[in-house]
Amino acid sequence: MGGMPDDSATSRNIYRNWISEGLDDALTERFLLRTGEETLEEYADTLNKVLVSYAKSSARNLAAKELDQAHTIDAFQIAYSRGELASLVFDDMLTKATGRKAHLEDVVRQAIVTARANKVANRDVPADILFPQTMVALGGPDVSSLIDRFMAKGETILLPVDIFAGCALVSALPGASGGGATTTAQHVEILSTLTPSQRAGCTRRMAGIE
């Protein structure tokens, strides 16, 4: 998808791991759901663990420079959580903008194609820049400012309450103690009233198939 910026000599830039690790985590979970390796409930359970870990992290709201200076497990791991949750937010924005004609997976596939063309043309466009450009090219919104706010500045990422509308409820789960304070984590619960056909449709939808 274009590689990472070659500026490691001046900064660790671990916040950019969102696109090499967090995005991958989001895609992997969706793939497991798509192939039947995970049920809807297992998918939600894994996502809920990420949401709680993110809420409890002492590095949740650290900015890029602070992350570079914080040699802790939380500081290294936070880019994974930010990337996974932000990827779901970006997918939600893209599917809403395109009437579900384009998904997160389409962004990645097209970014790979574009990155190969850029390499042939000796154009250097790193992955974290190419990703929002590709979203726009597919009919989605420009999420460049959100990437800066979420990844570089450490603004809290929240899943939209309607991100899984008709399939699961997104609610607040108080009492996630961590980082010296009690925070509120989001929680995803698959609707228990889904019929078999509705479950099949929700699986396809949440897996990014349709």
Q: Does residue 6 belong to any structural domain of this protein?
A: no
- Domain count for the chain: 1
pTM exceeds 0.85, yes or no: yes
Q: Does residue 166 belong to any structural domain of this protein?
A: yes
Q: Does residue 186 belong to any structural domain of this protein?
A: yes
Cα–Cα distance measured from residue 15 to residue 83, given in angstroms and rounded to the nearest whole number = 9
141-193: pLDDT as tens digits: 999 999 999 999 999 999 999 999 999 999 998 665 544 445 689 999 999 99
Q: Does residue 7 belong to any structural domain of this protein?
A: no
Token digits for 67? 């992350």
Q: Does residue 111 belong to any structural domain of this protein?
A: yes
Mean pLDDT of 47-76: 92
Token pair 């250097």 is at which residue? 124
Cα–Cα distance measured from residue 154 to residue 60, given in angstroms and rounded to the nearest whole number = 7
Of 24 and 16, the structure prediction assigns the larger pLDDT to: 24
Please provide the average confidence, as pLDDT, over all residues in the chain: 90
85-130: pLDDT as tens digits: 999 999 999 999 999 999 999 999 999 999 999 999 999 898 989 9
Distances from the Cα of 80 to the Cαs of 3, 12, 24, 54, in angstroms?
Answer: 17, 15, 9, 9
Note the pLDDT of residue 180: 43
Predicted confidence band at 12 (pLDDT cuts at 50, 70, 90)? Answer: low
Distances from the Cα of 165 to the Cαs of 85, 152, 176, 183, in angstroms?
Answer: 17, 30, 24, 25
Write out the residue range of the structural domain in which residue 30 sits.
14-206
Q: Does residue 39 belong to any structural domain of this protein?
A: yes
Predicted confidence band at 8 (pLDDT cuts at 50, 70, 90)? Answer: low
Q: Does residue 181 belong to any structural domain of this protein?
A: yes
Q: Does residue 112 belong to any structural domain of this protein?
A: yes
**How long, in residues, is the chain?**
210
